[in-house]
Chains A and B, each alone.
Chain A
Amino acid sequence: MQQKKNGLILLMMIIVMTIATACGNSSSEEANASNTDSQEATKLTFAAREGEMADAIKAVVPKYEEETGVEVEVVSMPFDQLKESVVLDIRNNGGAYDLTMIDDPYMPEFGEGDLLVKLDEYFPNGLDEDFLTQAVNLGKHPYESGELIALPLFGNVQLFYYRTDLLEKHNLDVPATWDDVVNIAETVVENEDNIYGYAVRGQRGNPIVSDYMPLFWAYGGTVLDENNQPQVNSEAGIKAMETYLKLKGLSPKGVESFNTDQIATSLTQGQVAMVIAWPSWVSQVDNEESSKVVGKVDLSAVPSQVSDSSAMIGNWMLGIPKSSQNVEPAVEFMKWITSPEIQKEMALDGGGAPTRISVYQDEELNEVYRHYPAQLEALQNSVARPRTPLWSQIEDTWGLYLSQILSGQLEVEEGLVKANEEIAKIMSK
């Protein structure tokens, strides 16, 4: 009886151990297999930013699959989750993603952490000159001078959108400064029913920082001085925030939680007269199916104040995680998706922000997107956000205090002083 029981236990243990070891083996065998013959039925997994950009990618991918037989799975994720998942996967050597989109301010962080495959050996002569220099620089680590670690995929740049019909109606000029913007917004609010003068993108974190920074720059502010010390509570910072609060007062209720969707909707639904937006998510202003303001919206560079306006570049880059088991096929796909033909196709599918000059000059595209010349000019004069691997912490902290000021929890100066202290702590870590 006892022997029988002992035998049973032994059997169970053997089963458990076999299962455990079998699992361990099979995964490493798989990894080996994909290393040795990557030609056979390669599958690439592409981590993409959810929304119009991922949709544009999904629209062109079947073509690639047909041409090459390589299967490409596009996994679309929201902004925060994209970075989290990709970083965790690379650090844990998971190999779940072969390609990933990265927002350009995070490039120094990815470069410093050595998370991406270096691409110089695959592009021995650099990228061709058709790519915008400003965009290519973002993909190098260190910025501008270093080795290539990512390709520019979507050439976003901040632009200023305004309603031409409202300006004409009230005999107003296109705003050149932020004072003009405030004046126009006041006129609109006074004279129009159910149209607001402006809409700030006030959600805490990345959204409010991206939305406030062009004002900060226009008032002459710099985030980090030459000694890498934060200067967000400078005179410029305070004045910019005061203007920003005025604009909030001329915005719809609830802008404290506005993000891309709400900005795009308020513009296309004719609810606001002016906004700062990024072309890749407002490509639909002239689409009759979804827009009530077809032909009524024009765009320009972001207004200036004491300094000339600087268009903020915010490209989405395409890199290969170091943990990828399919580096070479991924490089091939990269070359393909950044080629002029495919960039044009994606632009037509709604991901309206190419990174090649020739695509911006394409006649067919210029008929669909009349803002392309302005967008190209803005890109060529664009400025990048501070290049530091600590940017995500700075941005999150700064954005927290900006949001507190916007929602009235803190006074302007009080909030900015605190933000500066906290950012100084981050820099001294």
Chain B
Amino acid sequence: MQRTNKMTYIFLIPTIIVFLVLTVYPLLYVITASFFSMNYLQGTEWKFVGFQGYQELFQDSLFWVAFKNTIIFVVIAVSLEVFFGLMFAILFQKNFKGSAIIRSIVLLPMLLPPITVALTWKMMYEYDYGIINYFLTLVGLPAIEWLSSADWALFSIVITDVWQWTPFAFLIILASLQTIPKDLYESAAVNGASGFQAFRYITLPLLKPVILLVLFLRTIDTFQIFDKMYVLTGGGPGNATETLTFYIYRQGFRYFETGYATAATLVVVIIIVILSIGYIKSVYKSAYSR
């Protein structure tokens, strides 16, 4: 028995090393660096500044704009992705002619590299030559300044993100949907439940853990969105599409203010950890109450 234990630990060594090198070390480094002021480009000495970096961060109005944009983006994008994912899953749950093919096609956006997606959408959003405005004007609607208007830009990126990641929600929800026993619906039908009632009292409660899981995964991922902003708008116009990661990128890789950028990074990590704990708790709760 004791020997098995020892073996377990020995076999865990590679994983532990990887974990230490790739997760623990960078995290400790970031925590340390966040209390120092250091410009990486200038190669300046590490100067201990305590919480000054954090103080500057919380006083920077641009940080709060980035924070607000991130929250708006996450809330809208993630809820739309889960909503459409759920709708598609219900639609494709029944087998009809060609459903298998359509199902695979629906999954395609998820498989594309985000940069490719962003570049393609950038062309489609083009004001004068873009295909979206072409169709809008064709049916008599006004053309929209998708990426160059401060009111639209963030929403345009939401659309792109929803287009790409709805399939992810769809895939996971569909898998879970197919595990719901058919006899539940049959007995509901026998008892005279309507389609909506069956959905409301059978499907939704049984899907709750998996919906929470998708929400959780998408929230974490969307919180760190960077590539689409970088390609589509560069954070502009103004700071209409500047998110937290973009803010950190500017501080870290344009100004090379490493100390300050790590402080900002740590704040984002803390937010994500808090969100994760909340989600994980509710996922467990709903899974065990089943």
Q: Which residues of A contact B (CB under 8 A)?
A: 2, 5, 9, 80, 83-84, 87-88, 91, 109, 112-115, 202-205, 252-258, 389, 392-393, 396, 400-401, 403-404, 406-410
Contact = CB atoms under 8 A, between A and B. Distances in A.
B150 A84 contact: no
B16 to A, nearest CB: 13
Given A404-B237, A407-B238, 12 more contacts: A2-B3, A5-B7, A109-B41, A204-B236, A205-B236, A256-B149, A258-B148, A403-B236, A404-B150, A406-B237, A406-B238, A407-B237
Interface string B222-262: 00000000000111111110000000001001111000000
Interface size class of B (residues with CB under 8 A): 20 to 34
B127 A204 contact: no
Contacts, number: 96
Contacts of A253: 127-128, 143, 145, 148
A425 B239 CA distance: 19
Contacts of B63: none
B42 interface: yes
Given A112-B42, A404-B239, A396 B150 contact: no
Q: Is the interface of B mostly helix, strand, loop or mixed?
A: loop
Contact of B254 (A256, A392, A404, A408): A392
Interface string B1-44: 00100010010000000000000000000000000000011110
12 contacts: A91-B41, A254-B128, A256-B236, A257-B148, A257-B233, A392-B254, A393-B255, A400-B236, A401-B238, A404-B237, A407-B149, A409-B237
B5 to A, nearest CB: 14
Contacts of B145: 253-254, 256
Interface of B: 3, 7, 10, 40-43, 62, 126-128, 143, 145, 147-150, 233-240, 250, 253-256
A392 B257 CA distance: 12
A392 B40 CA distance: 14
B235 A204 contact: yes
B236 A203 contact: yes
User: Which of A80, A83, A113, A256 has the most CB atoms of chain B within a 10 A radius of its CB?
Assistant: A256
B225 to A, nearest CB: 18
B254 A396 contact: yes
Contacts of A204: 234-239
A332 B218 CA distance: 53
A113 B41 contact: yes
Given A2-B3, A396-B255, A403 B237 contact: yes
Contacts of B43: 91, 113-114
Contacts of B128: 252-254
